[in-house]
Each structure stands twice: as structure tokens, then as C-alpha cells.
């Protein structure tokens, strides 16, 4: 039974720091945006060397829990939940995740997100969505600009779903696909048609029709997928998701 046992300690001191911070976060002492004490002070407080402390802080930074600013200080991450920038693309490269698999994951998540948004979205979300749709239509001749609003549109839907976990996961997947996507959009096809689909999705959400929202989102994404040639190969392999 493979993962029965747990790796309890990633080396004593490091985990001591991690657990310390975790405790402070869980009991509410430390909240997003807060600044933690200077390394020298905190090290003295925890009775460990500054070097060890830094290892622990680095660990937390990698997880996206802490944000370090040279010459300024170290802070608890604020803003939207964030699995350390490229963690997904990193382990993706490691395990040979393939592009069509990424896209499949994205479709599964976003269709669900769209349905949830249709059920729970608030007026504020509808407003933002409408604005982005307008911007999208206004950018059909400017691929770079278009992509910005496209991303924003999907992000707002994730927000409107009321489920930050799913939103964060989607964010991670999308950002790990960003490089490739940008290229595609630049040599893109049919931004007008794509813009129309965004509007339809918006309408389905606004009128609270989860099933429609789901279906339209799936249709939209599958079309995008084809545009990038990332359909699932029938029985053979495909090149890995590796960037560049």
C-alpha cells in the first residue's frame, strides 16, 4: 500500500519554521498581507540559526504561502490563492504531462465552473462579465489585447463560481499553458466567432442556465483546443508539454 506512511519531517528545523507559521496562520495571528518579523529577529525567537530559518521561509515561498521582497521584508501571500507559480508546469515537465491532458483538465474544470457561475453568480460578476465581453468584441483585431480580456473573462467566471479551490486550480492550469496559448492566438483564426461564443456563455450564465453554460463552455473550449491542434491522439504519443 504505497503511500501509507507520511514523510513527517522535511528535516527538523525547516518543519519547525513551517509549522510555526502554519500555526500562526491557522489561529488567525497571521493573515494575508501581513509582514513577518525580520529574519534575524524571528531566528532568535525560534532559537534557530538564521540559515535554518531561511530554509523554512524558502519552503513556504515555494508553496506560494509567503512572498519575499528583497530589502523590504517577508509577507504572507495575499490576493488570489496561488500554487507557487510554475509548480504545475514543473511537475508536468517531470512526469511528461501532455498538452491534450492539460486541456482536458481545463475543460473539465471550466465547464463545471461555468455551471456553478450560472447557479451562484452575483450581479457584480455579471457586470464584470459583460464588460469583458464588450472588451473582447472591441479587440477582435488585436490578438494581444484579445487574449488579455479572454483570460479575464474566464477568470471572472471562476470567481463567480464561488469555489476558490476550483478557481485556483484552473488558474494554475491555464497559466502553465500560457506560453503555448499566446503563440496560437497570435497566428489565430476567427476571433470574431470566438467573441460571439463568449457572449453566448455570458448570456447563459446571466440567465442562470447552468446546463447551457456548461455546454457552451465545452463547445468553446473544444474549438480552442482544435485551433491549437491539441486533440487527444487516437492511440499514439504526442510531444510533451515542455515549454519553449
Ramachandran quadrant class, 135 (left: phi over 0; alpha: psi -120 to 50; beta: rest): alpha
Site for a copy of itself in 44-63 (CB under 8 A): 51, 54-55, 58-63
For residue 153, how many other CB atoms are within 10 A of its CB? 20
Instruction: Give Cα 70 to chain centroid, integer Å.
Output: 25
Alpha-carbon gap, residue 215 to 8, rounded angstroms: 44
Where does this chain touch a copy of itself (CB under 8 A) — which range of 8-16, 39-47, 124-132, 212-220?
8-16
Among 48, 53, 97, 194, binds a copy of itself (CB under 8 A): 97
| Pattern 73-112, DNA, x by CB under 7 A | xx--------------------------------------
- On the 0-12 / 13-18 / 19+ scale of CB atoms within 10 A, 7 is exposed
Per partner kind, with CB cut-offs from 5 to 8 A, the member of a copy of itself, DNA, none near residue 33 is none
Site membership for a copy of itself, residue 15 (CB under 8 A): no
Site membership for a copy of itself, residue 72 (CB under 8 A): no
Question: Cα–Cα–Cα angle for 93, 94, 95, nearest 5°?
Answer: 95
- On the 0-12 / 13-18 / 19+ scale of CB atoms within 10 A, 220 is buried
Candidates 202, 234, 186, 229; CA nearest to 99 is 229
Number of residues that bind a copy of itself (CB under 8 A): 64
Among 20, 22, 25, 52, binds DNA (CB under 7 A): 52
Question: Rule CB under 8 A: which residues touch a copy of itself?
Answer: 1-3, 6-7, 10-11, 14, 22, 25-26, 32, 51, 54-55, 58-65, 67-68, 70, 76-77, 79-85, 87-88, 90-95, 97, 101-102, 104-105, 108-109, 112, 116, 148, 152, 162-166, 168-169, 173, 242-243
Amino acid at each position: 500500500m504505497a503511500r501509507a506512511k507520511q514523510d513527517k519531517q522535511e528535516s527538523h528545523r525547516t518543519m519547525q519554521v513551517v509549522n510555526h507559521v502554519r500555526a500562526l496562520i491557522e489561529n488567525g495571528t497571521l493573515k494575508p498581507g501581513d509582514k513577518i518579523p525580520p529574519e534575524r529577529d524571528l531566528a532568535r525567537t525560534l532559537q534557530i540559526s538564521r540559515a535554518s530559518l531561511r530554509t523554512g521561509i524558502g519552503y513556504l515561498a515555494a508553496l506560494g504561502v509567503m512572498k519575499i521582497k528583497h530589502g523590504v521584508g517577508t509577507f504572507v501571500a495575499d490576493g488570489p490563492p496561488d500554487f507557487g507559480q510554475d509548480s504545475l508546469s514543473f511537475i508536468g515537465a517531470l512526469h511528461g504531462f501532455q498538452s491534450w491532458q492539460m486541456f482536458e483538465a481545463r475543460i473539465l474544470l471550466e465547464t463545471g465552473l461555468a455551471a456553478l457561475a450560472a447557479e451562484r453568480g452575483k450581479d457584480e460578476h455579471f457586470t464584470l462579465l459583460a464588460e469583458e465581453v464588450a472588451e473582447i468584441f472591441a479587440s477582435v483585431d488585436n490578438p494581444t489585447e484579445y487574449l488579455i480580456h479572454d483570460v479575464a473573462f474566464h477568470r471572472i467566471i471562476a470567481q463567480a463560481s464561488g469555489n476558490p479551490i476550483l478557481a485556483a486550480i484552473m488558474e494554475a492550469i491555464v497559466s502553465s499553458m500560457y506560453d503555448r496559448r499566446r503563440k496560437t492566438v497570435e497566428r489565430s483564426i476567427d476571433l470574431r466567432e470566438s467573441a460571439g461564443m463568449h457572449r453566448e456563455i455570458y448570456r447563459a450564465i446571466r440567465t442562470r442556465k447552468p446546463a447551457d453554460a456548461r455546454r457552451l463552455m465545452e463547445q468553446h473550449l473544444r474549438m480552442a483546443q482544435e485551433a491549437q491542434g491539441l486533440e487527444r491522439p487516437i492511440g499514439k504519443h504526442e510531444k510533451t508539454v515542455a515549454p519553449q
